[in-house]
Structure 1
Amino acid sequence: MASQSDESETSAVGLSGQDLWDEVRIEPVEIALPGGVGLTLRAFRKSSELTPTEMDVEEEDPFDARERRAAEDDEEEVIVDEEFQALLAEGEVDQAVDEDAKAAADEPDPEDFEDEKEEDAAADEDVPMFLSHKGRLLAFKTPESLVSFIRSGAPHDLAQLDSWATLAEQVQSTDIDPQADDRYELDLVVENLRGGHDSWDLPLLITAGEVARDLGYALRLKPVILALSPGSPLDDLDESLRSTENGGMSGFFGRRRLKKIGAQQASLGWRSVIGKISAAVDWRD
């Protein structure tokens, strides 16, 4: 049985390494960009638990646009209902039709409930958030500088997490060691694409797409979100890369689709995406 002094000593030391990151549900990330290699932090939480990053210059971003469209849809429903009531008052709508419409409106449709559940689940899915402030990613050249910032109490978006205080209290520079899956080489993407289909590095390009989507969402970078949105050329490239990586018949068809994607078009598209991300980085060293 551990003594009281042993327990207090363990509590003082706290967690370290991967145990610490697992406890706080935050992860160190390394992102290589044309301007350098930066260390930062990323977390995934339910969208309902997070307040999106503030923007210095409020352009039309996809989050506000989505809320505005929902409000417009609600307003349109109200207007239609008012027009219907006006026609009723003027006697232009048969009373029997009105009663049928009311009966149908009062009777709930099970499919509507299912659709609402699916929409609610999609709206409250896990979303990424980075160590950022006012739409800019905070990146550090060394573990020591990152830890110094974490302990500084300076404002940033991850401060809203309930586990942030634990991380700030216990993290050490030796803990800043991103896992292999959390290291991204965006600086190599354009050059790799220019080399042609036979030289494309599938894991490099696939992981680049993953972190670019995360950054686009978390930093509210509308051009990045649109460039990688479903149905876009870069999204088609991503799907083909993943199919090829999976192998088998899926890989066969994936390779065929890749051959139809122009290397120059892909490299230009990715160059624009990486340029937008690079412009949103705040180097703190």
Structure 2
Amino acid sequence: MARQSNRSKAKSPTPDEPVTEVEETTADDEAPAADEPEIVEAVATEDDDEAGVDPAEQRAFWEDLRIDPVEIALPAGTGYTLRAYRLSTELTPTDTSDREEDDLFAARARADEDEDDDADLFTDEELAEQAEAAGREERRKARGDDEDDEDEADHDEVEEPTAEDEHEEDEDEDDEPEAEEVPVFLTHRGKLLLFRSAEGLVSFVRSGAPHDLAQVDTWTRLAERLEPANVAPLDEDSYELDLVVENLRGGHDSWDPPLIIEAGEVARDLAYALRLPSVLDMLSPGNSLDDLDEALRGVVDGGIGGFMARRRLRKIGAQTASLGWRTIIGKISAAVDWRD
């Protein structure tokens, strides 16, 4: 009440009031207002610090390099790495010679080498053709020049390519693998390099240490420009593999479709880049985990398809799904090299 009385005097001073009282009252009223601008400025400064680097500039930085920072959460912890997509013809796969017996890709390479070793061996048909050619040569020598010309004409007719021969050539061309866009991570000798801090990742990039991502065309520019503030993965590049098994154990009603779908996407990329054929097989079409993935995508899409997808999910056992994903995460975790 005393503050209200002072404000009344300030508005309607009387001749008997000392001037000093009016000045003191005015000073008291104006004191809080004088402090307000300082508080506002402090808050604004704090917000500016939290804002950090402009998101648009961050996106432009990574899009120019065609490389992305990735955050992966595993049971052992959360770490940062890098991922890019390039044509398969531009990349050399990571070296997995230490575990070649488990490497499907290496097994295929060995099979191709075996085929090359057998190239010097002839089939029965090829041996018969060679014997026939040798017989013709002997007959040419025994006959005159005229007969030789006739034989050569006959030989030319035989050597003309048939439709069947052309078809075989087309099949050989089709057997050559076509270039496709494939993932490549910050890996070395079959191990995924994960860094617990952005500073650790940047330090490694600048160190010049060997790794598989160095073969990417924009790597040199990245090594020159990367700063810890740039290591800020987007939501779609952050994967919580550590939560998948527990979520699946909760039963059909608690399953989190985006969580499991995103986990499947990064698991396929990692399985390809790390050359983990068993993981690729578990997530391939026709297997239960791929059926789970498709059904969850149908749920996300909604509509009638979403209703049917929920019915399909009921047919997938929660225990089977959780055990399958536990195996996948275990194999990926075993192929991780934690840094810093």
Q: TM-score, normalised by structure 2?
A: 0.69
Instruction: Give me the identity figure in percent.
Output: 57
Name the counterpart of 1:96.
none
Alignment partner of 2:108 out of 46, 66, 85: 66
| Residue of structure 2 in register with 1:208 after alignment | 263
Instruction: Call closer, same or farther: CA 1:70–1:236 in 2, change over 3 Å.
Output: farther
Q: Which secondary structure state, in structure 1, belongs to the residue aligned with residue 164 of structure 2? A: helix
Question: Structure 1, residues 48-91: CA drift from partner, whole Å, max 9, x if none?
Answer: 10011112513231222333455667888997x72223456789
Q: How does 1:265-284 map to 2 (within 5 A)?
A: 265-284=320-339
Q: How does 1:1-285 map to 2 (within 5 A)?
A: 17-55=58-96, 57-60=98-101, 61-69=103-111, 82-86=123-127, 103-108=162-167, 112=171, 115=174, 120-121=177-178, 124-285=179-340
Higher helix content, 1 or 2:
2
Confirm or deny: 8 A CA contact 2:100 2:106 kept in the other structure: no
Following superposition, the deviation at residue 111 of structure 1 comes to 7.3
What per-residue deviation string (whole Å, max 9, x for no partner) do you get for residues 224-252 of structure 1? Answer: 22221222221121122122222233323
Q: Is the 8 A contact 1:16 1:171 kept in 2?
A: no
Change (3 A) 1:32 1:78: same
CA deviation string 1:128-163 (max 9, x = no partner): 111111111111111111111111111111111121
d(CA) in 1 for partners of 2:130 and 2:80? 66
- Note if contact 1:16-1:175 (Cα within 8 Å) is conserved in structure 2: no
**Letter paired with 1:132:** T
Partner letter of residue 36 of structure 1?
A: G
In the alignment, the residues of structure 1 paired with residue 168 and residue 305 of structure 2 have an alpha-carbon distance, to the nearest angstrom, of 39
- Where does the alignment leave 5 or more consecutive residues of structure 2 unmatched? 1-55, 133-157
For 2:112 and 2:97, the matched residues in 1 are separated by 25
Q: What is aligned with 1:10? A: none
Secondary structure of the residue aligned to 2:337 is strand
Task: Indicate the larger mover: 149-158 or 15-24.
Answer: 15-24
Equivalent pairs counted in the alignment come to 260
- For residues 301 and 112 of structure 2, the distance between their equivalents in structure 1, rounded to whole angstroms, comes to 38
Change in 2 beyond 3 A, CA 1:128/1:177: same
Q: Could you say if the C-alpha distance between residues 238 and 57 of structure 1 is closer, same or farther in structure 2, counting changes exceeding 3 Å?
A: same
Q: Decide which moves more: 186-195 or 69-78.
A: 69-78
SS of equivalent to 1:53: coil
Cα separation, 2, equivalents of 1:101 and 1:262: 61
* Structure 1 stretch displaced more, 238-247 or 82-91: 82-91
Report the AA paired with residue 282 of structure 1: D
1:14-72 deviations in Å (ceiling 9; x for gaps):
x9622221111110000000010111100100011001111251323122233345566
SS of the equivalent of 1:155 reads coil
1:115 deviates by 4.5
Aligned equivalents of 1:90, 1:42: Cα separation in 2: 58
Comparing both chains, which one has the higher relative contact order based on Cα–Cα distances under 8 Å and sequence gaps of 6 or more?
1
The alignment's TM-score, normalised by the length of structure 1, stands at 0.81
Q: Which amino acid aligns with 2:327?
A: S
Task: Mark the structure with the bigger radius of gyration.
Answer: 2
Root-mean-square deviation (Å): 2.8
Secondary structure of the residue aligned to 2:123 is: helix
- Once the 2 structures are TM-superposed, how far is the Cα of residue 257 of structure 1 from its aligned partner? 1.4
Counterpart-to-counterpart distance in 2, 1:33 and 1:201: 17
